[in-house]
Chains A and B, each alone.
Chain A
């Protein structure tokens, strides 16, 4: 890891959503600073409405910050999503009109990649994500977990250097989540990408990440960034490690107060229109 040359970063980023019909202006995020080294896995936890999604979408280039700068591989992020960034959303983002294969191949086709290369990469992703046998199925025929795997596969084939995941397993049951966590780790090691995972599940964050960022209630700022110290070859088995319990407790002790503060608020989380 080379902290002096991060793969991606936010610097003094702050986002205020302007006043709209009937709603006052919302200071959704920041100011935040965050650097992601190449190949690093960072998880971000925080109470509802703290701006985690805004953070992720700002890093991706889907949203512009009101102030501050965003960089990816040394270049500023502005006006669009840079090539090399992949995003997995919480909602089901699979295209219902395409089968699994076409869904995964979508980005490659749009990028004009050669047909043979597309076939090779999609085949690989299908195998990697355990979707063999379902390639002709349509999303409507699959479970939520399978659909999320399709979305991850669709991101994987583009060989991103930075993978952003916004509560990707939020709609899944706990057991599936744990399994998907292991798959995510496999993916991370395979692609050697930097990963930013937004989650509200503390155990998931502590289990998967190299560093866990704890955000305050809105406007979200980083209270603390805790290094977990796990080896790169980890799996969900780290939950048995005694450090796991200590780390989780530490995260929660910070988070609890912020969550209470967030609950005391009336307005829901602001999202960009």
Chain B
């Protein structure tokens, strides 16, 4: 069924709502600043200016590239390992049943408190940061992938057998499309968590990177820098998540 051209009024209204929310948030922010003062936050306009200044500063971009590298590697490892493990545990029922509660229990641990162990094992450097990122993001990916495989409608498998598909063809043409939307959801959730893990890791284990900029800002009471970096991270997180959410929706709609 093809979607007829979306009535423009709906898009406009959504845009208007989002703009309204933005205005409301900015006003609340300004009010908060009036209440607490310079010691804790910078007001909206000043923060935006500082952020713009950061974007023009080459030093900032070296920090960004450090974080970006760690983030990209964590994401790659987390995604590949997570999906692979999730698939394996999903298809091998017994292993999945054994592993799921253990993974769920691990997930409820405050990972931050295990950081010292990570630092002792990986040392202070990019590998520790990558480890943090993976630690934060991989378990949801595994669990969601596992459930996606479990939830494959058995009728699809029967159809594949009736059509005499080889295991490879079945995997590629029947199973993969069936689980893709849910796996994508897992990756989307893992995305945000991995970012958080890398940034928090940088707050401890690094002399470079966005997380370092933040903790440095806190320690040096350099509120403007700290707020500007947070703003930029938030913008990135919201934009990326919204984009991923849109893809996620598209994938789910196609399947149902």
Measured CB to CB, the residues of A under 8 A from B are 19, 21-24, 266
Per the 8 Å Cβ criterion, residues 1-56 of B in contact with A are 1, 3-4, 6-7, 10
Considering only CB atoms, which chain A residue lies closest to B4 in the complex? Answer: A22
Closest Cβ neighbor of B1 among chain A residues: A266
B10 touching A21 by the CB < 8 A rule? yes
Residue on B nearest A24 in the bound complex, by CB: B4
B interface list, Cβ under 8 A from A: 1, 3-4, 6-7, 10
B12 CB to nearest chain A CB (Å): 13
> A266 vs B1: C-alpha distance in the bound complex, in angstroms?
8
- Expressed in whole angstroms, the Cα–Cα distance for A23 and B10 within the complex equals 12
Shortest CB–CB separation between residue B127 and chain A, in angstroms? Answer: 49
A12 CA / B4 CA spacing, docked (Å): 32
A23 to B5, CA, bound (A): 10
Question: What 5 pairs across the A-B complex have the smallest Cβ distances?
Answer: A22-B3, A21-B10, A22-B6, A22-B4, A21-B6
- Provide 8 A-B residue pairs closer than 8 Å at the C-beta atoms, listed in order of the A residue: A19-B7, A21-B10, A22-B3, A22-B4, A22-B6, A22-B7, A23-B4, A266-B1
Shortest C-beta distance, A95 to chain B (Å), equals 26
A sample of 5 more A-B contacts (CB under 8 A), given A19-B7, A22-B6, A24-B4, is: A21-B6, A21-B7, A22-B3, A23-B4, A266-B1
| Set of chain A residues within 8 Å of B3, measured between Cβ atoms | 22
Assembly CA distance A23 to B6 (angstroms): 9
Q: A5 CA to B7 CA in the complex, in Å? A: 47
B-chain residues with CB within 8 Å of residue A21 when the two chains form the complex: 6-7, 10
Chain B positions within 8 Å of A23 at CB level: 4
Contact residues in A for B1 (Cβ distance below 8 Å): 266
Could you tell me the distance between the alpha carbons of A245 and B10 in the complex, rounded to whole angstroms? 53
Question: How far is B34's CA from A229's CA once the two chains are assembled, in angstroms?
Answer: 82
